[in-house]
Amino acid sequence: MYVRPRGTFRTLLRAAALPVLGALLVTALPDRQAHAASTLTNPGFESGTSSWSTYSPTGQDSASYVEPGGHSGSNRLAHWSSTAYKVETYQYLSGLANGSYTLSAWVRSSGGQNSAYLALRNCGSAEQRTDLPPTPNGKWIRLVTSVKVTGGQCTVSVNSDGRAGSWLNVDDLTFTPGSTGLAVKGADVSMLKKSEDFGGVYRTSGGATGDGLAVLKSAGANYGRLKVWVDPADGYSDKARVLQMAQRIKAQGMKLLVDFHYSDTWADPGAQTKPAAWASHSYSRLTTDVYDHTYDVLNALKAQGTTADMVQIGNEINTGLLWPEGSTDNWDQTAGLLKSGINAAKAVSPTTRIALHLAHGGDNGLYRWWFDNAKARGVNFDVIALSFYGYWHGPLSDLQANLDDISARYGKSVMVAETAYPFRLDSKDSHENIIDLSSELVSGYPASTAGQAAWLRDVMNVVEAVPGGRGLGVIYWDPTWTAVTGNGWDPADPSSGNGWENQALFDYDNRLLPAANWFSHR
């Protein structure tokens, strides 16, 4: 995780993003019994509402219409009304070969609806939905949802349960064979053991006390991430504690991601401090240190039957690692240290996936510069991992543009290795929270249990939509780091507080929050 100074987000108001009034309707709404076909017709609404049907349980069919201003063409579908409304725009497909299909669509939304989503229903299997995120900057986002067709038919549906004045736009839909999903739906549980040792308690949403890791697993988490420090002041997140936690992760049937910081404390773009034991070492000696430390930890994990499934060689290494020798001011040396860690990991387990992890997940220029340099120097890796915190790193549209570009440019899987969002702003302990002002929030996502859940949902949906199935998954950062005296942010200061408890996935009564249910995402 990377902590930056406070920032303020401003909502960009764009009149062009607001739906036009019904007087601009160019085509009469169709009858609900539109003719069925085996492929989507008029998917870009260039022929108005031809081939699409409308249904409103509240008699507000006029809330669904076509207006100018498409994603790629001239028109787009709009849902809007000056009063509260419910409306569905749909197209019925028949004569389909049975199998898996994926719906893709470009969307925009004001947010603020009771619900707004794409759906595939009446397909012979459980209905599948993908919710639309708020896009206050007016930029389009591509979403997907997939379903298994078993009866030769399926209904493609756009749905709104809108408050007065709320709106959505949808355009350029496709419905093609294939399926989507996320292989990684994980949690960084690096602070869990220390929390437990100092009295931390974890409960299910129903209030039953349990193992915090098991509670997350029961919600659908399938990956556990653990940071590794070399010689931390508090003795946590070192080799011995990582080995203990790895056993618990694997015992839950979860996979293991090991995150090497190559430091005694937090490493991020603003701090890549060498471990004290390595402080006087030359660059050549540091390459040996990296190899030996990486090999030692990973081989010990393998020896106890908990081989790492994925390994990060460095944490948020935008500016390199092991400063100053490994700074990106000297890319050859940065690459040499990375290769040393990668070689050690592959020597222990050739099948373990190697991830390289940067922060600022919406900054495409950064990622192109960084990975072009790494690639030019022969740094081999499997996964590009990003930190993406919306209150620091920009809108979801920037995340999507970056993920789409780098996954294609480098031919690699991509994942969000860190994200989180507050469910409230006040602090449970005396330490100020990192995000504690309404001005710091992402527009459209309140500091509430619903806002937190929507954020995790929408980040997962953006990753799922990466073309070619290269969107690997999402890790929620330290959902078990609740306010427990003694488990503060500074490993060298037992009295330090926790600035993160309002972004954990357990509330101030230690109950699992609704956002965790998105770990069960398809």
Cite the active site residues. Answer: 316, 418
What is the rounded distance in angstroms from the CA atom of residue 142 to the CA atom of residue 346? 36
To which residue do tokens 């006029």 refer?
62
Residue 453, φ and ψ in degrees, nearest 5? -65, -40
Angle between helices 396-410 and 449-464 (to 10 degrees): 30
Q: CA-to-CA distance for 473 and 108, rounded, in angstroms?
A: 23
Q: Are 414 and 466 in contact (CB under 8 A)?
A: yes
213, 189 contact by CB (below 8 A): yes
SS3 516: helix
Task: Specify the 3-state DSSP secondary structure of 358.
Answer: strand
Q: What is the CA radius of gyration of the chain?
A: 24
DSSP label at residue 26: -
| The two structure tokens encoding residue 185 | 């739906």
Unique residue bearing structure tokens 């990973």: 298
Phi then psi dihedrals of residue 149, to 5 deg:
-90, 125
422-459: string of b/e by CB count within 10 Å (b at 16+)?
Answer: bbbbebbbebebbbbeeebbbbbbbbeeebbbbbbbbb
C-alpha 36/C-alpha 154 separation (Å) is 10
In terms of Cα–Cα distance, which of 52, 146, 39, 136 is closest to 96?
A: 39
